[in-house]
Chains A and B, each alone.
Chain A
């Protein structure tokens, strides 16, 4: 091998013959006593006095483990409490509770289906309206917006998230409901009446109005998360697409949206989670009537709003227990919807890693 072979470390760091005859052993020989004889530099002195840090690392890991476990504990605890307090109604109705439409406190007959329907229908409709809008806002902000406008528009969309839900509800009652009754509703039944989704009397309150207010409420969270995700896509990806002769839209589609799709699904799921649990604004405009109707003008009821509306006046143990089981149903619906969304993400991405370099 090499003729300049010296120490094993030297050999691994430079397997090639070293052309310049600097004679490192001599250099080392000069260095070694110099370091040993003089006092340590303050930095070396400081660093050498620091311990191995093993104890600190171990205790840090333990604390973090406790934090992680506390999430499981809290979820299990809530689940347990809900089951415990709804055992009366669980025993009385069993699984039928989730599949029957009855809601009759007087005769003590309860079923959660209309509320599950109302929750799912309003949330999904809200997503259908909010996601394209939120994506549009995010794309505009990251890709098209002139720089000086970027901060004000971002700030305004985020401000939407800070408005309390009851204020949204008030606004919806005074603005959205009349608008729905007099303008949007008649227009929809005229143009899309043939689908059967816009039949029946339109009082302004109902599933569609609730979905619209929900859409406005979840818009900021989806758009600001999506914006952050798109900003994180490296510029090299945009340049790669542009250099292939892409138009601006093609660049956004291939270079930005495609790379951030998993993050976008995550943002949509957070929005969906918010929509499923949203109570106050929905309660104010949904009509509060436990019905399953194909028409989106029909009043409905959601799991969250029935609890909010009836909990304080629930008389009788069975009624109270049924309301708590509604809470359990909301809990389960949220879990199932999230699980389905995760499955969808997995199905789309299992062959392609999402990592952006």
Chain B
């Protein structure tokens, strides 16, 4: 089961560039939340702040409060502990090329020293089924390398890899932007099914995608969050002029 995320006064910098400015937002548990906005507006930085991946870049830093359930992730826990609870799917599929499909999926568990064969087998089946990839790969789980799959399959395998550690939150940074329409719709179906069990935050350039999968949508512009509301409201009756301009395609 997922947990909600409360963000208060989040600011982030890359070097001297102030990429996120005073973000305040509540992401409800077990729902999908979409973040939209033009390129470079800070949406990716924002999700990377939610699992403290932002600070892996030596010139990056962040201030503010991010509460995941009861835990203040910047003060109560180490980045490693946070990332064990938060799954992340990146823009480009990044399978481990030297590992089989099976090992790719359980890499998060094996990394943490989990060795129970039976549970590993079950986890591979469960998470590949959740990622709608099981039927396509079940016969060569240990024979084929993760990198031998097609792009769309690789991305679904990466989703399975993130789900295998039973995360409470799933962050997706433009998960379908490198994929063809068929793979994209598979991934959208997936998000639709997963959001009852996980808190999902999805960054997307595709406004139809946000409208299809997310209950709530936030619009980012130039490092600020312009508007956050129910997806329906954002797309039919936005409060802010800039949001309206963006969703009607007048800029961005």
Q: Are B96 and A240 in contact (CB under 8 A)?
A: yes
Q: How far is the CA of A14 from the CA of B217 in the complex (A)?
A: 33
| Chain B residue with the shortest CB-CB distance to A238 | B56
Q: Are B111 and A353 in contact (CB under 8 A)?
A: no
Most buried by A among B97, B112, B161, B162: B97
CB-CB under 8 A from B83, the residues of chain A are 242-246
Interface residues of A in 202-249 (CB under 8 A from B): 234, 236-247
B71 an interface residue at 8 Å Cβ cutoff?
Answer: no
The answer, among A242, A244, A261, for a CB contact under 8 Å with B107, is A244
B230 an interface residue at 8 Å Cβ cutoff?
Answer: no
Interface residues of B in 86-120 (CB under 8 A from A): 86-88, 90, 92, 94-100, 107-108, 111-112
CB-CB under 8 A from B129, the residues of chain A are none
Q: How far is the CA of A247 from the CA of B87 in the complex (A)?
A: 15
Contact A258 B108, CB 8 Å, known A239-B56, A353-B147, A353-B148 = no
Q: How far is the CA of A241 from the CA of B51 in the complex (A)?
A: 13
Contact A244 B111, CB 8 Å, known A147-B58, A352-B99, A352-B145 = yes
Q: Are B111 and A242 in contact (CB under 8 A)?
A: no
Q: How far is the CA of A353 from the CA of B98 in the complex (A)?
A: 6
Q: Are B97 and A244 in contact (CB under 8 A)?
A: no
CB-CB under 8 A from A355, the residues of chain B are 97, 147
Q: Are A236 and B98 in contact (CB under 8 A)?
A: no
Contact A245 B147, CB 8 Å, known A259-B98, A352-B98, A357-B97 = no
Q: Are A245 and B84 in contact (CB under 8 A)?
A: yes
CB-CB under 8 A from A356, the residues of chain B are 97
Q: How far is the CA of A167 from the CA of B130 in the complex (A)?
A: 64
Q: Are B80 and A247 in contact (CB under 8 A)?
A: yes
B53 an interface residue at 8 Å Cβ cutoff?
Answer: yes
| Chain B residue with the shortest CB-CB distance to A247 | B80
| Chain B residue with the shortest CB-CB distance to A261 | B98
The answer, among B94, B95, B111, B162, for a CB contact under 8 Å with A246, is B111
Q: How far is the CA of A255 from the CA of B108 in the complex (A)?
A: 12
CB-CB under 8 A from A236, the residues of chain B are 90, 92, 94
| Chain B residue with the shortest CB-CB distance to A242 | B56
With both chains docked as a complex, state the minimum distance between the C-beta of A253 and any C-beta of chain B, in angstroms: 9
With both chains docked as a complex, state the minimum distance between the C-beta of B71 and any C-beta of chain A, in angstroms: 14
Interface string of A23-36 (1 = CB under 8 A from B): 00000000000000
B81 an interface residue at 8 Å Cβ cutoff?
Answer: yes
B165 an interface residue at 8 Å Cβ cutoff?
Answer: yes
| Chain B residue with the shortest CB-CB distance to A260 | B98
The answer, among B56, B97, B162, for a CB contact under 8 Å with A353, is B97
With both chains docked as a complex, state the minimum distance between the C-beta of A18 and any C-beta of chain B, in angstroms: 17
Interface string of B56-68 (1 = CB under 8 A from A): 1010000000000
Task: Please give me the 9 A-B residue pairs with the lowest Cβ-Cβ distance, nearest first.
Answer: A245-B84, A244-B108, A243-B88, A245-B83, A236-B94, A240-B94, A352-B98, A353-B145, A258-B98
Chain B interfacial positions (CB closer than 8 Å to A): 51, 53, 56, 58, 80-88, 90, 92, 94-100, 107-108, 111-112, 143, 145, 147-148, 158, 161-162, 165
Given contacts A240-B158, A244-B162, list 19 more A-B pairs with CB under 8 A: A147-B58, A236-B90, A237-B94, A237-B96, A238-B56, A239-B90, A240-B90, A241-B111, A242-B83, A243-B83, A244-B107, A244-B161, A245-B83, A246-B83, A351-B100, A352-B98, A356-B97, A357-B95, A357-B147
Offer 27 A-B interface pairs, CB within 8 angstroms, sorted by A: A147-B58, A236-B90, A237-B96, A238-B56, A239-B53, A239-B94, A240-B95, A241-B96, A242-B56, A243-B51, A243-B87, A243-B90, A244-B108, A244-B111, A244-B161, A244-B165, A245-B165, A254-B111, A258-B96, A258-B99, A259-B97, A351-B100, A351-B143, A352-B97, A353-B148, A354-B98, A357-B94
